[in-house]
Chain A
């Protein structure tokens, strides 16, 4: 059974359909990538999966149970298992709280542990994400962008979740810091048996970290499958245009950009299987 199943999810705002009949399943232990450009619906999908937004229709099953049917107490338990790391490490940490309080807060909210026990847990979490526990009493502005993202990660891991939604977790960071945080994410995944939904507009990064990937375009998934298969033989015209637009860090690379024309896209096509697990709406 997949850990997370998204089933015909729809989210409408007035007359705009931000998420349009989206379905996919995330297996335990994998990193599932959700890619697309601004406004494609990837963040809205992520928020619905955590029930931070109520969808218009459709459902999300976590370990086989529909999370939109959960009552308050079951929802509270679910929140311990599913956490989110936000894009902007500057905006997502309260500047008036010490790092210690930020990481401890989920334990307080969920009434887990007491004084000394909690303090120890916070130190342990700080070490887990590669931060120096002697900096626990500092405020967020004393940390660099990469360190702040580590604090956000420690906070997300405080409740020992099994599933993390990573919404553009490294987009705001410099390249060299990005690769450190990505390495940390891979290390934590292996050690803590985590499952990730990795939301990103950065295709180079997605190719590097994700086992499978879904491409969103105007609220719909137009292609989904194993990362290697999608990058080697993209089927949907939008995926082709998107991949051909990636700047290649090689001055001798051949650049043949494929431009997407509206007429190329058959908006009514359903997803069909092209090869082992690789589906495209063509």
Chain B
């Protein structure tokens, strides 16, 4: 039995990746990967380091650096193949239609510009606001991601924010141009567990407020379980399993998915405790 709502084949996917292959010399970092993301859906992409998750994200955004290159496949965004666009056309897509949130906001943000400048830049580059309006919009965005005192924070530099606030600012930048798709690559991995929970709450909230389609890349199955509608599992560049979140957790089909689930620390005999009865 599968949950009909979750397994439903998305009627009109916003993003459709077909047979995507990205190679480094003879090695395929992304090997014939296909998946779709529907409007308002969260697809979790899980796998261990080196499995090709981040390279899939970079391939969708066409940010693969040489010697890596996209060797084949299609990335359809609203029926346009992003791999066929000119570099200028692609620049208009990045940030405006599809945006990317990175793991480490401390390195993804530019240390010499204020938070306000970095949000305004996204708005101005994509022609969404004049210089004057950009400031007001930046304050609104910071408020919507719940950064306290946005009017003064806007003049602050990244190092003046805590790790959690930097990730909030990063999310504000990603959402500035109202994209339809957000790719979040390990957005909470560098954060403490209580801050991680706040950022995940914020992502879920922003997803419904902006009707986003979210590609959430993580190695943490706990994060996936509470956030994703469907889950894709990657190993050595290949997609080994994809399905509704309940099916992946309760009835995993692929041996590797079962291995990943088994590796989560869970209830099992504890080490002996001197002076305490064995549990």
Contacts and interface: CB of A to CB of B under 8 A. Distances in A.
Q: Do A and B come from one complex?
A: yes
Interface of A: 27-31, 37-38, 145, 174-179, 182, 186, 189-190, 201, 203-205, 207-212, 226-228, 241-242, 244-253, 255, 257, 260, 277
B194 A242 contact: yes
Instruction: Pick the most buried of B262, B271, B274, B275: most chain A CB atoms within 10 A of its CB.
Output: B271
B192 A37 contact: yes
B193 A228 contact: no
B201 A251 contact: no
B38 interface: no
Given A189-B271, A251-B249, A207 B48 contact: no
Interface string B90-114: 0000000000000000000000000
A255 B275 CA distance: 34
Given A175-B264, A176-B263, A251 B276 contact: no
Nearest to A27: B274
B44 to A, nearest CB: 10
B7 to A, nearest CB: 13
Contact of B222 (A176, A204, A226): A204
B95 to A, nearest CB: 28
A249 B193 contact: no
A20 B15 CA distance: 52
Given A175-B219, A228-B279, A253-B226, A29 B263 contact: no
Contacts of B221: 175, 249
The range of chain B's interface size is 35 or more
Interface of B: 48-49, 163, 192-197, 200-201, 219-226, 245-246, 249-250, 259-266, 268, 270-276, 279
Nearest to B268: A208
17 contacts: A28-B274, A29-B272, A174-B219, A175-B48, A177-B48, A208-B265, A208-B268, A211-B271, A245-B196, A246-B193, A247-B196, A247-B223, A248-B226, A249-B249, A251-B225, A251-B250, A252-B246
A280 B249 CA distance: 36
Contacts of B246: 251-252
A260 B219 CA distance: 27
Given A179-B265, A211-B271, A245-B193, A174 B222 contact: no
Contacts of A29: 272, 274
A210 B273 CA distance: 9
B226 A176 contact: no
Given A174-B49, A179-B265, A246-B222, 20 more contacts: A37-B195, A176-B48, A176-B259, A177-B48, A189-B271, A190-B271, A201-B193, A208-B268, A209-B265, A210-B270, A212-B273, A226-B276, A245-B197, A247-B222, A247-B226, A248-B225, A248-B226, A249-B221, A251-B225, A251-B250
Contacts of B49: 145, 174
A203 B192 CA distance: 11
Query: Which 8 interchain pairs have the tightest Cβ spacing?
Result: A247-B222, A211-B273, A208-B265, A37-B192, A245-B197, A174-B48, A176-B263, A175-B263
Contact of A248 (B222, B245, B250): B222
A211 B272 contact: yes
A106 B255 CA distance: 42
A209 B271 contact: yes
Instruction: Pick the most buried of B201, B249, B262, B274: most chain A CB atoms within 10 A of its CB.
Output: B274
A226 B273 contact: yes
Contact of B263 (A178, A244, A246): A178
A250 B271 CA distance: 25
B196 to A, nearest CB: 7
Contact of B225 (A186, A209, A253): A253
